[in-house]
């Protein structure tokens, strides 16, 4: 693995995005998000996905220079249309609106329809936490997974995020409803690694730890079997109803994933109690106090591993696949 | 199994609750909720749990005749204190407030602190759906489950509900963050049945399908392994922050579970889009169209099985364990 400084990676992303027709401010923010995703170890939605994103802009799948517009407003809740613009920027806008609504109402929500892939879901949870708010968001996706009791893919993996601000680093739960996200399966396959636990079925209907076999069969396992299947279903209904946008079965009729529906919720913890910060910290401290199964190891809260990767990336440079890095320099 | 008509079961519950000191309206609603839970097949939080509930009232653990009071109001969000009253009635009140707030603001939320066990979580999702609203709610609990990477119980199983109104029967996702709820484990143990899939570890640290071994080791498996562990953590933080109430680690210091924290959210689908009803129905119809793994079987949406049990209970009487029924008649 080669190591590249954060600023260098961000600058290369920005150069290419400007060439692809993005305005300066849009290229700036999009490059920052792709670089931050890579810095935090989410390679599947950082450097690895960047060439595909640019191809989407060039093919017209993503309209790079539209702005979201307001559909309906209900005080603490708003519906916005993303006009199939850049998913990352629509997402950043929508969480920003949710934060503004939460500033006024303690709780703020935005339904965003007709948007594109937001790459790393957790980025928008972190956006809220960095502003001192709890951030919750989820998206529907195209058809990616069979419901429990079927081998026919029919539901999305509908990633959701809950991010909680905390002095010593946020809690960041960022999870797809499949046991392993498609991005994770792709990275593991690329590296030739097996999954720790079965993540789906092969073409013969047997549970497997081979990421390639799961990508091929398209039978990813929902978390908690029937529970994740049900959770994916209701997240799709909620995203589609709250945004008045398309559901997975409609998205799945298109040749590529677009016009997805998303929900953003921000909560101003400081309004809800005088010692909310200490409350959060005490819960995490107690969680970390659980005796580890293996001596010398420790229990980790969601997002803790990401913070360690971020520190390493900023100190030693971001690890990049040399082939992908070379490809980027030639774009 | 003996069969008992719904009205008869409800009347017995009410008689006993009046004797235990509940006012007439409170006895009426509490009896209805216990009877409905039993009618819908949730025996673990219906008839089976009723004697324990009454014992809690008699011992003073549950204060039967207090009313919830408002702590703070923020337009679409309110915080209420349940004063350790009857968990079922506090819950019904809180979802009722969330529905009223959603009527005005499309979205309504209530944080409820200092309340007691609400028995069947899904009851309050159904309350919203029966009124034409989406209902979302969750609770924290006492310490019930080890976090991923530990054998030491430290987090709650924090059940959550998403209930979506639908003409031909609501979608009702009602799930604990353990693969099997404590109530389900108790019922399976009582019946001498094994779990379909491993639901936790035995005292030797091996995965097991024996419900009794899991209840003994107190090592229930979180859904999706590390994901359910993380989700349980963030649901506890959210419940505690949004209600300004106690977290699992505080609840766990008491000799019995009380003063739990809960969140209720209602969404008025009719305000959010002109064809929201059809949108929901189309998603469920598509879901049900997935080819079943076994010919002759079919994929089921969450809550579908419950509706079948309800119909059977109302037609043929509610199945009751003869010993438990006799015990009830003698209370």
CB atoms within 10 A of CB A231: 26
Count CA atoms within 13 Å of residue A147 on its CB side.
Answer: 26
Distance separating alpha carbons of residues B198 and B192, to the nearest angstrom: 16
For the beta sheet containing B107-115, the strands, ordered from the edge strand earlier in sequence to the opposite edge, are B69-73, B77-81, B107-115, B260-267, B134-139, B160-164, B171-175
- Cα distance from B4 to chain A (closest Cα, Å)? 31
Residues of A in contact with B155 (CB under 8 A): 287
Do B74 and A247 lie within an 8 Å CB cutoff?
Answer: no
- Cα distance from A31 to chain B (closest Cα, Å)? 29
Do A74 and B106 lie within an 8 Å CB cutoff?
Answer: yes
pLDDT digits (tens, 9 = 90+) for A58-116: 999 999 999 999 999 999 999 999 999 999 999 999 999 999 999 999 999 999 999 99
Helix axes A50-59, A6-19, angle to 10 degrees: 10
Is the per-residue pLDDT at B1 higher than 90? no
What's the confidence (pLDDT) of residue A245?
98
At residue B235, the 3 state secondary structure works out as: helix
Q: Is the dihedral of CA B92, B95, B97, B103 positive or negative?
A: negative
Average pLDDT over residues B297-312: 95
Sequence-distant (6+) residues with CB within 8 A of B187 are: B43, B44, B48
Is the per-residue pLDDT at B182 higher than 80? no
- Please state whether beta strands B134-139 and B107-115 pair in parallel, antiparallel, or not at all (unpaired): unpaired
Active site residue A190: no
Distance separating alpha carbons of residues A58 and B161, to the nearest angstrom: 43
Q: End-to-end CA distance of chain B, in Å?
A: 20
B72: closest chain A residue by CA: A272
Average pLDDT over residues B295-314: 94
Name which of A79, A197, A228 is nearest B223 (Cβ-Cβ): A228
A251: closest chain B residue by CA: B283
Q: Are A23 and A65 in contact (CB under 8 A)?
A: yes
What's the confidence (pLDDT) of residue A295?
82
**Nearest Cα residue to B156 out of B92, B233, B210:** B233
Do B273 and A223 lie within an 8 Å CB cutoff?
Answer: no
Residues of B in contact with A286 (CB under 8 A): 154, 247-249
Residues of A in contact with B290 (CB under 8 A): 146-147, 149-150, 152, 154
Q: Are A199 and B126 in contact (CB under 8 A)?
A: no
What's the confidence (pLDDT) of residue A276?
93
Q: End-to-end CA distance of chain A, in Å?
A: 20
φ, ψ dihedrals at A78, nearest 5° = -135, 150
Distance separating alpha carbons of residues A157 and A215, to the nearest angstrom: 13
Which of B143, B173, B296 should one mutate to test binding to chain A, selecting the residue with the greatest count of A CBs within 10 A? B173
What's the confidence (pLDDT) of residue A296?
83
CB atoms within 10 A of CB B288: 16
The secondary structure of B164-218 as a DSSP string is E--TT--EEEEE-SBSS-HHHHHHHHHHTPPPSS--EE-TTS-EE--HHHHHHHT
pLDDT band at A294 (very low <50, low <70, confident <90, very high): confident
pLDDT band at B220 (very low <50, low <70, confident <90, very high): confident
What's the confidence (pLDDT) of residue B224?
93
Distance separating alpha carbons of residues B67 and B64, to the nearest angstrom: 9
Cα B297 from chain centre: 28
**Assigned CATH class of A67-178+222-272:** alpha beta
- Cα distance from A126 to chain B (closest Cα, Å)? 14
Residues of A in contact with B147 (CB under 8 A): 287, 290, 299
pLDDT digits (tens, 9 = 90+) for B79-132: 999 999 999 999 999 999 999 999 999 999 999 999 999 999 999 999 999 999
- Please state whether beta strands B171-175 and B160-164 pair in parallel, antiparallel, or not at all (unpaired): antiparallel
Do B107 and A234 lie within an 8 Å CB cutoff?
Answer: no
Q: Which two tokens stand for residue B288?
A: 């049900």
- Please state whether beta strands A107-115 and B69-73 pair in parallel, antiparallel, or not at all (unpaired): unpaired
φ, ψ dihedrals at B138, nearest 5° = -150, 165
Do A283 and B224 lie within an 8 Å CB cutoff?
Answer: no
**Nearest Cα residue to A239 out of B98, B272, B302:** B272
Mean pLDDT of chain B: 95
Name which of A74, A230, A298 is nearest B173 (Cβ-Cβ): A230
ipTM score here? 0.96
In terms of phi and psi (left: phi > 0; alpha: psi -120 to 50; beta: otherwise), the region of A118 is alpha
Q: Which residue has the higher pLDDT, B208 or A181?
A: B208
Distance separating alpha carbons of residues B263 and B162, to the nearest angstrom: 12
Burial of A256 (0-12, 13-18, 19+ CB in 10 A): exposed
B145: closest chain A residue by CA: A290
Name which of B164, B280, B297 is nearest A149 (Cβ-Cβ): B297
pLDDT digits (tens, 9 = 90+) for A223-259: 999 999 999 999 999 999 999 999 999 999 999 999 9
Mean pLDDT of chain A: 95
8-state DSSP, B70: E
In sequence order, the β-bridge partners of residue A160 are A138, A175
Residue with tokens 């720790």: A196
Q: Are B93 and B227 in contact (CB under 8 A)?
A: no
What's the confidence (pLDDT) of residue B128?
98
A134: closest chain B residue by CA: B238
Distance separating alpha carbons of residues A133 and A96, to the nearest angstrom: 11
Residues of B in contact with A271 (CB under 8 A): 72, 74
Which of A234, A247, A279, A299 should one mutate to test binding to chain B, selecting the residue with the greatest count of B CBs within 10 A? A234
Q: Which two tokens stand for residue A303?
A: 């997002």
In sequence order, the β-bridge partners of residue A267 are A107, A134
To the nearest 10°, report the CA torsion of A160, A162, A168, A169.
20
What's the confidence (pLDDT) of residue A106?
95
Is the per-residue pLDDT at A301 higher than 80? yes
pLDDT band at B44 (very low <50, low <70, confident <90, very high): confident
Residues of A in contact with B152 (CB under 8 A): 290-291
Cα Dmax for chain B: 56
Do A272 and B72 lie within an 8 Å CB cutoff?
Answer: yes
Is the per-residue pLDDT at A21 higher than 90? yes
Is the per-residue pLDDT at A307 higher than 90? yes
Q: Which two tokens stand for residue B70?
A: 């408002």
What's the confidence (pLDDT) of residue B197?
80
Helix (H) or strand (E) holding B278: helix B276-288
Do B154 and A290 lie within an 8 Å CB cutoff?
Answer: yes
Do A289 and B248 lie within an 8 Å CB cutoff?
Answer: no
Q: Which CATH number fits domain B68-178+222-270: 2.40.37.10, 3.30.1370.60, 1.10.760.10, 3.40.5.10?
A: 3.30.1370.60
What's the confidence (pLDDT) of residue A83?
98
**Nearest Cα residue to B307 out of B47, B41, B97, B35:** B41
**Nearest Cα residue to B135 out of B167, B97, B99, B92:** B99
Is the per-residue pLDDT at A327 higher than 80? yes
Average pLDDT over residues A248-277: 96
Name which of B155, B231, B284 is nearest A287 (Cβ-Cβ): B155
Q: Which segments of A60-174 does DSSP mark as H helices, in order?
A: 87-105, 122-130
pLDDT band at A207 (very low <50, low <70, confident <90, very high): confident
CB atoms within 10 A of CB A30: 26
What's the confidence (pLDDT) of residue B80?
98
Is the per-residue pLDDT at B319 higher than 90? yes
Distance separating alpha carbons of residues B253 and A316, to the nearest angstrom: 44
- Please state whether beta strands B200-201 and B69-73 pair in parallel, antiparallel, or not at all (unpaired): unpaired
The residue extents of the domains of chain B are 68-178+222-270
């Amino acid at each position: 693995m080669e190591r590249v400084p954060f600023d260098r990676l961000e600058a290369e992303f920005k150069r290419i995005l400007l060439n692809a027709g993005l305005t300066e401010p849009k290229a700036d923010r999009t490059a920052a998000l792709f670089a931050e995703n890579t810095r935090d170890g989410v390679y599947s939605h950082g450097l690895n996905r960047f060439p595909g994103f640019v191809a989407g802009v060039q093919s017209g799948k993503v309209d790079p220079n539209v702005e979201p517009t307001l559909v309906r407003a209900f005080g603490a809740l708003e519906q916005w249309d993303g006009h199939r613009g850049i998913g990352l920027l629509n997402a950043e806008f929508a969480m920003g609106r949710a934060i503004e609504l939460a500033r006024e109402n303690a709780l703020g929500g935005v339904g965003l329809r007709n948007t594109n892939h937001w790459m790393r879901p957790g980025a928008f949870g972190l956006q809220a936490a960095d502003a001192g708010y709890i951030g919750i968001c989820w998206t529907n996706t195209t058809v990616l997974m069979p419901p429990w009791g079927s081998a026919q893919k029919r539901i999305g993996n509908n990633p959701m995020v809950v991010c909680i601000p905390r002095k010593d680093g946020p809690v960041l739960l960022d999870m797809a409803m499949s046991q392993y996200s498609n991005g994770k399966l792709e990275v593991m396959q690329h590296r030739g690694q097996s999954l720790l636990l079965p993540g789906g079925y092969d073409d013969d209907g047997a549970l497997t730890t081979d990421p390639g076999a799961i990508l091929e069969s398209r039978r990813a396992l929902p978390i908690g079997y029937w529970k994740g299947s049900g959770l994916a279903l209701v997240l799709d209904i909620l995203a589609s109803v709250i945004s008045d946008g398309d559901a997975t079965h409609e998205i799945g009729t298109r040749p590529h994933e677009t016009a997805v529906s998303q929900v953003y919720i921000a909560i101003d913890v400081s309004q809800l109690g005088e010692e909310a910060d200490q409350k959060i910290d005490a819960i995490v401290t107690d969680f970390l106090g659980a005796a580890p199964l293996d001596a010398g190891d420790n229990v980790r809260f969601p997002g803790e591993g990401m913070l360690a990767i971020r520190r390493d990336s900023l100190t030693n440079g971001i690890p990049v696949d040399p082939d992908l890095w070379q490809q980027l320099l030639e774009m």
